[in-house]
Amino acid sequence: MDAFFASVEQARRPELRGRPVVVGGRPGGRGVVATASYEARACGVRTAMPTGQAERLCPQAVFLPPDFSAYTAVHDRLVTLFRGYTDQVEVVSIDEAFLDVTGSRRLFGPPQAIACRIQQAVHRSEDITCSIGIGPTKLLDKLAATINKPAGIGELTEADVHGKLRDLPVRDLWGVGPATEERLTALGITTVALLQDAPLSLLTAAFGDSAHALRRLALGHGLSAVHPRVQAPKSVGSEVTFAQDTGERVQLHATLLSLADQVMTRMRRHGLSARTVTLKVRFSTFHTITRRTTLPAATVSTRAVHEAAAALLDQVELHGRLVRLVGLSVGNLHAKAFQLTLDDGWKETALYESVDRVRAKYGSRSIRLAGAGLTDAGGAAAVGLLSGAADEVIAGAGLTDAGGVAAAGLLSGAADEVIAGAGQSGAGGAAAVAPLRRPSPTWMPETPAPRPARVVEEPRLPLPGPTAVC
Using a 10 angstrom Cβ sphere, with 0-12 exposed, 13-18 middle and 19 or more buried, the burial of residue 320 is exposed
218: closest CA among 290, 287, 162, 268?
Answer: 162
Whole-angstrom distance, CA of residue 467 vs CA of residue 287: 42
User: Number of helices and strands (H, E) in the chain?
Assistant: 14, 12
Evaluate whether 191 touches 170 at the Cβ level (below 8 Å).
yes
Structural Rg of the chain based on CA atoms? 25
Residue 96 annotated to the active site: yes
Whole-angstrom distance, CA of residue 461 vs CA of residue 137: 9
Q: Do the bridges between strand 62-64 and strand 21-24 make them parallel or antiparallel, or are there none, so unpaired?
A: parallel
Evaluate whether 7 touches 78 at the Cβ level (below 8 Å).
no
Evaluate whether 255 touches 326 at the Cβ level (below 8 Å).
yes
CB atoms within 10 A of CB 157: 14
Residue 171 sits at φ, ψ, to 5 deg, of -65, -20
Question: Which residue is catalytic, options 9, 39, 90, 96?
Answer: 96
- Sign of the dihedral defined by the CA atoms of residues 133, 451, 227, 86, in that order: negative
Residue 440 sits at φ, ψ, to 5 deg, of -80, 165
* Active site residues per annotation: 96
